[in-house]
Amino acid sequence: MMRLPRFRYHAPRSVAEAATILAAEGDQAMLLSGGTDLLPNMKRRQQVPGTLIGLREIAELRQIDNGSGLRLGAGLTLTEIVRDARVRERYPGLFQAAVQVATPHLRSMATLGGNLCLDTRCNYYDQNYEWRKAIDFCMKKDGETCWVAPSSRRCLAVSSTDAAPALMALGASVRLVSDHDGERVVPLDELYHNDGIHYLARRHDEILTEVLLEPAAGWRSTYWKLRRRGAFDFPVLSVAAALRLGDTGAVEQARIVLGAVASSPLPAGKAAESLVGRELTDAVIERAAELASKRAKPMDNTDFTLHWRKRVTRDFVGYALRELRGDDMRARRVQIARHSLDAAV
Amino acid sequence: MSDTTRKPPATDRFGVIGVPRRRVDGRAKVTGQTRFADDLALPRMLHARLLRSPVPHARIRRIRTARARKHPGVQLVLTGKDLPNEFGILPVSQDEEPLCSEHVRYVGDPVAAVIARDELTAFEALDLIDVDYEPLRTYATPEDSLGHPEPRIHDYGEEGNIHKRAAFDFGDVDAALAEADEVLEDLFFYEGNTHLPMEQHAALAAVDADGKLTLWSSTQTPHYVHRALARVLELPAAHIRVIACPNGGGFGGKSDIFNHEMVVAKAALLLDRPVKICLTREEVFYAHRGRHPVLMRMKTGFKRDGSITGMQLETLVDGGGYGSYGVASLLYTGALQTVTYHVPRYRFRGCRVFTNKPPCGPKRGHGTPQPRFGQEIQLDKAAERLRLDPAELRLRIVEQPDTLTANWLRIGTIGLAECIRRVVEVSDWNDRFRKLPEGRGVGLACGSYLCGAGLPIYWNKLPQSGVQLRLDRSGEVTVFCGATEIGQGSDDVLVGIVAEVLGIDPFDVRCVTGDTGLTPVDLGSYSSRVTLMMGNAAIQAAERARELIASAVAEQLELPVSRIGFGGRRVFDVENAERGMDWREAVGLAEERHGTLGTVGSYTAPRPAARFKGGGVGPSPAYSYTAAVVEVEVDTSTGWISVPRVWIAHDIGRALNPTLVRGQVEGSVYMGLGEALMEEQAYRRLPPKLSGALVHKFPSMLEYKSLTTHDMPEVVTELIEDPEPNGPFGAKEVGQGPLLPIMPAVANAVYDAVGVRIDEVPITPDKVLKALDDKAKGGPGRYGPARFPEVEWPEAMQVPPPWEDGDGKAVNDPERKRAAKLAKVL
């Protein structure tokens, strides 16, 4: 089997201690929070950090507090997230996203913070060392060219986190802590760059410690994920949507975010705006779906063909908005997800 | 083989056979006690890793290993010159080297091996080996290989990059098609896919205390590995012992002989230390030997009543970089078209080419799922054209039992009609077909498979399976057989049969299998041969043991031998069951009377009826049959496909252990749905102007998609039992046959659901959507291959069918003619 490269391991017990170690170790160090993605990547030599700073011993990263809405520690496992009644009742979009990550075993190891910082993915990059050598490597690691589009000057690896689009649609923020500058809170959509290599605005010395959710009162949310199979697979398209309906049934506020069709989650602002002030009629939904699907720019570096992924974006936005309207989408959900999400907890 | 083993016993009252039981190796498997090859560890063991070619096609100019050899912890570096002898599973394709010495043929072809104290050290040292490659033209597709004879991927084969062609005419097919009321001509494509066993291949070699070599390996064919090791290492076979560990799934992917087995054996001999290798998942995709991608052109003539007048099939087979089983695979793409429905005249043309990809070989169904896919879809199209129900059409044309087919295959029992009737009934076919709302549909398809290849891989007249029994005064029975447990349940079949014949419990039988040092030869777990061949040998050995015991007990009880019965761990007077003794006492009596007890049994398949060259592929002692109905839901906006239910009926002859039989049927449905819907051994050619790379698109279990439990539908399994005279207790195979109908049944169901034809696998939502778009624009609503490239076919072998005064021989012999012509010129 493939073996991990050698590395030094630290197991700090507090965020402050972790931040101090991270600052001292510099660029060759990486944070380990679950490791379900990082460790296989290390076996394939996609990342070869000399030092790993494990966050699992830090109790403060595993807390759930009420806050103004809800505060979720970045070290919570995805299983802990999906089992939390507050998450399921108030933030169904986050629940649906988290419960569709990978498999039950992986969700029991993988963390919320880890999923938000998940490395971008690409069929030319998520390969072992020998394979990447056979294509003379790629821009993202050890090479020059982006083989997805050889004329591209930036890396086109795909943002593959499920949690980020869901949380962006919910208007979440994240807290970043560092040894030198203390801490800052940024809206989640400012955490990402549409660049497969520099996909995170997190500075190297910062630790993502928690996710801050606004009160959910009046909001409805949902998350639809396209993947080949009912488990394991990363998204190759996802639609997160959240909206607030007024007494008349007209939309007062809306957010739609597309996942896995660029190097960052993509807010579909125009599509969301088109809903505001209107009732969710079929025509209104169709118009928003059309607008949102224009944002999707899938490339030929994931499962399924890119033209098909682009084309069905409209359908998936439609599923999300119809569910928020109150349509019974359970049968459709089972067809797409291949199982009932509630049964997967 | 004695006559007694050919006839199924008159009584259906069995003690063990037919009773659903927990498999004999079940406890070890679920408690983690089964020792797979990679679980083995020996003192002072070293680890090997292979350096594999990063280029798809090249000459090796030079290999420098000095830096790697100096790396701390490295014990040995091997290259091609250390292992100069070639090998290959077929005698006609001895085209593989343990390590490539001059020529690499695909990304992943091994060129050097590092043996070190641990895997990480070996991996690090691989990067210290410098190989200088001179790139050659890359052949990515069969069209590339047909279009460019030079440079050649191999310097053997027919010509250029054509490995092998086959051409047979069984009667005048042109005349047959001219007589037809309807002639259907279709192009189909079947994408390659791989076995995906959970266990990666692993091997451990050690020199034992007395200086002989032992190799433990996850292999389906220890006997063939044994022969190849002797040849490659230039050692007497008698000084080599190959032990096949239980395989964590095989499906044909471990029935070849592999370079890593040669490498660890050589290293163990040179270092006098145990050496182990376990392939990474990526390397399993490179070892491959999976389903050949096959392009097909199929032309069939039908009368208005549905009867077939004749069929013509051409196959273009993408072999990858080596021969492997390819010559047999090629012939299998043409062999079994005639065994399900009556085809009075049949023409087959097949061509296998080399390409710069991992070698293809045998995967469950070996060469037959591809043409079966085409044939069953074409029948569905024919049924519509002829205004017949697809089930009714098939029932009209099912081949008769005890028949010789147009291509000289001898068929015994055929449960196909009963399989069709049963799935039609349990699936409510008549209330569903063409009656479900838009977007939902059902499809029906059938299939048939061998119960063991009639001939061994290398020519010989020796038994194809041998079984030995030893019994002693303790009452213990040990059964020995070279057959290999690959998860299919062969150990259970062996133990069950012995227990049945001797009237004892399976738990009383100890079983030793797959060990060339201890067990009599069995050719291996491939071609669905084990239950039938090993089973018959086991019956013979057990009956001989029973005779010894019966004679001793008869003497003791002063009864004629004919009155001695066996059952319930007792040996007794069949007319007065109270009179008798327990099993242990009976064995003791026999040992006292006959001396040390041991018996043997062996099996050799009946001689094929075919007597033409190439007729050795297809004959089998028996054929299993299957029919399946698949239900699908297809979303017309996205093309998204769901499979809620599958009904399947399998003609098993007799279910020896129904639990295992059902497991194999469900496993086949699982694998078949994977092939139908998502599995692809696909490759990526980088833009040739920028790169010479041709790589496996996704050699990982994450991106090579196969079904998860969430994707698996409800399966209703029906077993059809009509005992087959050639099978042990009437049993036929179940390991491969039930796979065959699944892929075409899915395609036919998609057509019933949304009216589009997907004439290739995998059937994916984007293809469905393209076909729907085509239909919306007034097109035929089809997605599939558009052309079959020009292939220069050799002169066909003319073999008249049995009903045209044939005798199984070719009336012409193109090869003899060519030789005569050449002699004249000279």
| Spatial distance between the Cα atoms of A157 and A262, rounded to a whole number of angstroms | 8
CB contact under 8 A, B123 and A315: no
Q: What is the band of B9 on the pLDDT scale with cuts at 50, 70, 90?
A: very low
Chain B residues lying within 8 Å of A150, measured CB to CB? 687, 690
pLDDT for A125: 98
SS3 content of chain A, % helix, strand, coil (to 5): 35, 20, 45
Closest CA to A61 of A16, A105, A117: A16
Tell me what pLDDT residue B824 has.
65
Residues of chain B with C-beta less than 8 angstroms from the C-beta of A312: 637-638, 640, 765
What is the distance in angstroms between the Cα of A281 and the nearest Cα belonging to chain B? 19
Nearest by CB to B119, which of A3, A131, A134?
A3
Q: What single DSSP character describes residue A158?
A: B
Q: Quick one: average pLDDT of B473-480?
A: 97
Residue-wise pLDDT tens digits, B509-540: 999 999 999 999 999 999 999 999 999 999 99
Q: State mean pLDDT over B691-711.
A: 96
User: Among A45, A228, A282, A336, which would you mutate to test the B interface (most chain B Cβ atoms within 10 Å of its Cβ)?
Assistant: A228
Give Dmax over CA atoms of chain A in angstroms: 62
B283: distance to nearest CA of chain A, Å? 10
**Rounded (10°) CA dihedral A61, A64, A70, A76:** 50
Mean pLDDT for the stretch of residues B77-94: 97
Q: Which strands, in side-by-side order, build the sheet including A64-65?
A: A64-65, A70-73, A207-213, A173-178, A182-187
CA distances from B86 to B91, B466, B780 (A): 11, 29, 51
Q: What is the ipTM of this complex?
A: 0.97
Q: Which of A3, A127, A336 sits opposite B123 (nearest CB)?
A: A3
Chain A residue nearest residue B682, CA to CA: A303
Q: What pLDDT sits at residue B814?
A: 64
Cα B328–chain centre separation = 11
Per the CB < 8 A criterion, the answer to whether B125 and B71 are in contact is: yes
* Whole-prediction pTM: 0.97
CA distances from B765 to A305, A312, A318, B642, B749 (A): 10, 10, 18, 10, 14
Average pLDDT estimate for B416-438: 98
pLDDT of residue B5: 40
Nearest to B710 among A130, A230, A312 (CB): A230
Q: Tell me the pLDDT band of B3, cut-offs 50, 70 and 90.
A: very low
The model's pLDDT over B24-69, given as tens digits with 9 standing for 90+, comes to 999 999 999 999 999 999 999 999 999 999 999 999 999 999 999 9
Decide: B377 and B759 in contact? Cβ < 8 Å.
yes
Q: How far apart are CA B87 and CA B498, in angstroms?
A: 37
Cα(B136)–Cα(B109) distance, integer angstroms = 15
Please give the distance of CA A166 from its chain centroid, rounded to a whole number: 7
Chain B contacts of A130, Cβ < 8 Å? 52, 54, 282
| For helices B765-776 and A306-325, angle between their N-to-C axes, nearest 10 degrees | 90
On whether any CB of chain A is under 8 Å from the CB of B788, the answer is no
Say if the Cβ atoms of A134 and B711 lie within 8 Å: no
What pLDDT band is residue B12 in, cutting at 50, 70 and 90?
A: low
Question: Rounded to an integer, what distance in angstroms lies between the CA atom of residue A186 and that of residue A201?
Answer: 10
By C-alpha distance, the chain B residue nearest A135 is B693
User: What is the pLDDT averaged over residues B766-788?
Assistant: 98
- CA nearest to B624, candidates B497, B534, B492, B738: B738
Counting residues of chain B whose pLDDT is more than 70, the rounded percentage is 97
Question: In the 8-state DSSP scheme, what is residue B251?
Answer: T
CA distances from A183 to A145, A205, B650 (A): 37, 11, 67
Grade residue B233 by pLDDT with cuts at 50, 70 and 90. very high
Q: Which residues of B touch A298 (CB under 8 A)?
A: none
Q: Any chain A CB within 8 A of the CB of B237?
A: no
Question: How far is A143 from A149, CA to CA, in rounded Å?
Answer: 14
Nearest in space to A334 (alpha carbons), one of A220, A224, A169, A221: A224
Looking at beta carbons, which residues of chain A come within 8 Å of B711?
A: 229-230, 338
Query: Quick one: DSSP state of residue A342?
Result: G
Ramachandran region, residue B389 (left: φ > 0; alpha: ψ -120 to 50; beta: rest) = beta
Instruction: Using the structure block, give the residue that is written with the tokens 């996704």.
Output: B698
Other beta carbons less than 10 A from residue B249's beta carbon: 16
Which residue, among B708, B768, B783, would best test binding to A if mutated, counting the most A CBs under 10 Å from its CB? B708
Statement: residue B4 has pLDDT above 50: no
Is B633's Cβ below 8 Å from some Cβ in A?
yes
CB B741 within 8 A of CB B394: no
Contacts A231 to B, Cβ<8 Å:
708-710
**CA–CA separation, A247 vs B319, rounded Å?**
67
> What order do you get walking across the sheet with B182-190 strand by strand?
B760-761, B182-190, B294-302, B308-318, B346-353, B162-170, B797-798
- How many other β-carbons are positioned within 10 Å of the β-carbon of residue B436? 17
Given 3-state DSSP classes, what are the helix, strand and coil percentages for chain B, each rounded to the nearest 5? 30, 25, 45
Let me know if B734 is exposed, middle or buried by CB neighbors in 10 A (0-12, 13-18, 19+): buried
B686–A131 C-beta distance less than 8 A: no
Let me know how long chain B is: 826
CA separation for the pair B826, B815 (Å, rounded): 17
Name chain B contacts of A127, Cβ cutoff 8 Å: 282, 698-700
Q: Does B710 touch chain A (CB under 8 A)?
A: yes
Q: Are B116 and B74 in contact (CB under 8 A)?
A: yes
Of A71, A75, A81, the closest CA to residue A59 belongs to A75
Residue B2 confidence (pLDDT) above 60: no
Chain A: closest CA distance from residue B42 (Å): 18
Count Cα neighbours of A133 within 13 Å in the Cβ-side half-sphere.
14
Q: How many CA atoms lie within 13 A of B443 on its CB side?
A: 35
The pLDDT of residue B813 is: 76
Q: What residue of B is the nearest CA neighbor of A44? A: B282
pLDDT higher than threshold 80 for residue B228: yes
Residue among B635, B702, B766 whose CB faces A308 most closely: B766
Tokens 């391991």 -> residue:
A9
A4 interaction partners in chain B (CB closer than 8 Å)? 120
| Residues B379, B390 contacting (CB under 8 angstroms) | yes
| Partner residues linked to A30 by β-bridges | A52
Q: What is the mean pLDDT of residues B721-734?
A: 98
* pLDDT at residue B6, rounded to an integer: 39
B637–A307: do the CB atoms touch at under 8 Å? no
User: Going by C-beta distance under 8 Å and a sequence separation of 6 or more, which residues neighbour residue A133?
Assistant: B54
- pLDDT-flagged residues of chain A (< 70): none
A134 vs B639: CB contact, 8 Å cut-off?
no
Residue B611: which residues within 8 A CB-CB, separation 6 or more? B408, B807, B808, B809
Task: Give the per-residue pLDDT at B817.
Answer: 65
| pLDDT for B816 | 61
Nearest-CA distance B721 → chain A (Å): 35
Mutate to test the interface with B, among A3, A160, A306 (most CBs of B within 10 A): A3
Give the rounded distance of the alpha carbon of A112 from its chain centre: 9
Report the C-alpha gap between B275 and A124 in whole angstroms: 33
Write out the H or E segment, with its range, that includes residue B695: strand B694-696
Query: Quick one: closest CA in A to B713, which residue?
Result: A338
B645 close to A (CB below 8 A)? no
pLDDT at B820: 65
Partner-chain contact B696 A130, CB within 8 Å: no
Average pLDDT over residues B651-667: 98
CA atoms within 13 A on the CB side of B580: 25
A136 CB neighbours in chain B (<8 A) are: 691, 693
Average pLDDT along chain B: 96
- Could you give the C-alpha distances from B12 to B16, B43, B573, B725, B730, in angstroms and in order? 11, 52, 20, 14, 11
In 3-state terms, what secondary structure has residue B558? coil
Residue B441 contacts residue B458 (beta carbons within 8 Å):
no
Helix (H) or strand (E) holding B111: strand B110-116
Which residues from A are below 8 Å from B when comparing CB atoms?
1-6, 123, 126-128, 130-131, 133-136, 145, 147, 150, 228-233, 303-305, 307-308, 311-312, 315, 335-339
